[in-house]
Amino acid sequence: MQGGYEFDSGRIWRPVVAPLAGLRAGRRPCQGSTGPEKRPIRRRRPMDLTTALAALKDGTLTARDLAEACIAARAERPEARDNPYVAFSAGLLRTQADAADIRRAAGQPLGDFDGIPLSLKDNYGTGTVCGGTWPVFAGSPRRLPPMWNQPGGVVSRLLGQGAVVTGKTRMVEFAFGGLGANGHWGTPRNPWDRDHHRVPGGSSTGAPLSLHEGSALLALGTDTAGSVRIPAAWNGLYGYKSARGHLATDGIVPLSPRLDTVGILALTADDLAHGYRLVTGTAIDPLMDPGVIRIGRAPAALWQDCSPGVVAAVDTALDRLTEVFRPVGSVTIPELDEALALFRRGGLAGAEIYGFLGQELPAWLSSLDAYVGPRIRASADVLDYDARVAFLDRFANGVQALFHDVDVVALPTVAITPPLLADLAEPSAYGRANLMALRNCCVANLGDMAAVTLPVGTDDAGCPVGLQLLAPRGADARLLAIAQAAAGYLVGED
């Protein structure tokens, strides 16, 4: 098994070659631009999904071994403030794992993923699993009615494959924000800054933290304007947002039915491919000839006003990828400026979540936290909703046409460094940071594209930077194959 692995205090680890050039160069972790130089944190990353699948298959490890490692990892970081979960049950985790081991011992596993532990965002319904269940809060202060805890297509498939749910991860209230702040449950720290409380990204806030601490091997989130890709990028992970309609969103508390998509966060690009196989049943075939892949550069508007070091890290990665892919220069996205302006005015999500709450959960409107409440209430009187939908239909069709001349479009995943939580106390400051965090990601949702983010380095503050690749609807599997090829090349760089 490549690299091998070892047990350490009940937690499973594997040696990792970090794909981030800044880390290989010994740069300090995310500390801010001032203060004394600190020694870099030397991390051992938890076992990845690919390694765990092989270990289960050859009998080196059991599902119970994996479950105990997840439980031990959670026990090492019990702080309420930084807990990735709103619900985590060691007992239910063990029960699921033992059931998987019984099936495997009898020669009747439900699939390759039988016994693999993964986390679910707090807006996914699960129903009852092995006699237990997890509540659904959707980031709100109280449990949602039982109708919102029914499993949809994605969860039904992963449970049918024997995947083990570790728990429900924290999120921005009703997924309406990209920074990860939540006034009800608290905002966990981004683990890349050991001295300051930086936000971890959202709205799938706890998903990357469950992977980072080793309490899950795969994390499922949702992405309406960047809610998987932002936390993945800000935590040095890989993230995938499906194209609209590619994966069912039933059984998930909605934010925007038009823009909501299912997404996956993972430790490696290979793990993303395995996660895609888990939720779709489709394996990702490796690219036979990466040299034919045409990679275009997103318009200048999506490279402007970035935090220091973000563009440099992405450009360095793209320069390397010109040796394996075929660069075709910058592309034009028709009506991009108009689409971004519409997003800044609230797009569709604000009006849709206000309508949903007013109809389905009216009692929740009065308890919305300060990060999302004012913005949701400000969307109550959107009078041009139909015109906005018509514009986005036209915009998405124009976006698909540009892929006649290019296979993927490249850009920074997030334009800015993860902000300090203390800097977001004023609503105007929160609003500016939130829009900048979402700017480069929302284009994929508005334009009905699939998207991935890959870690490619660090910015001038020492925080992770992501490279985002966009592909047209219907090209999800091919995009993940491209991401695997790109990651394999970048990780192999010295």
Catalytic residues, by residue number, are 121, 203, 227
How far apart CA 223 and CA 227 sit, in angstroms, is 4
Structure-token match 């702040």, residue found: 181
Side chain identity, residue 238 = Y
Q: What is the 3-state secondary structure (H, E, C) of the chain?
A: CCCCCEEECCEEECCCCCCCHHHHCCCCCCCCCCCCCCCCCCCCCECCHHHHHHHHHHCCCCHHHHHHHHHHHHHHCCCCCCCCEEEECHHHHHHHHHHHHHHHHCCCCCCCCCCCEEEEECCECCCCECCECCCCCCCCCCCCCHHHHCCCHHHHHHHHCCCEEEEEECCCHHHCCCCCCCCCCCCCCCCCCCCCCECCCCCCCHHHHHHHHCCCCEEEEEECCCCCHHHHHHCCCEEEECCCCCCCCCCECCCCCCCCEEEEEECCHHHHHHHHHHHHCCCCCCCCCHHHCEEEECCHHHCCCCCCCHHHHHHHHHHHHCCCCEEEEECCCCCHHHHHHHHHCCCCHHHHHHHHHHHHCHHHHHHCCCCCHHHHHHCCCCCCHHHHHHHHHHHHHHHHHHCCCCCEEEEECCCCCCCEHHHHCCHHHHHHHHHHHHHHHHHHHHCCCEEEEEEEEECCCCCEEEEEEEECCCCHHHHHHHHHHHHHHHHCCC
How far apart CA 28 and CA 65 sit, in angstroms, is 34
Q: What are phi and psi of 245, to 5 degrees?
A: 85, -5
Quote the tokens at residue 161.
């494959």
How far apart CA 309 and CA 28 sit, in angstroms, is 14
How far apart CA 266 and CA 283 sit, in angstroms, is 16
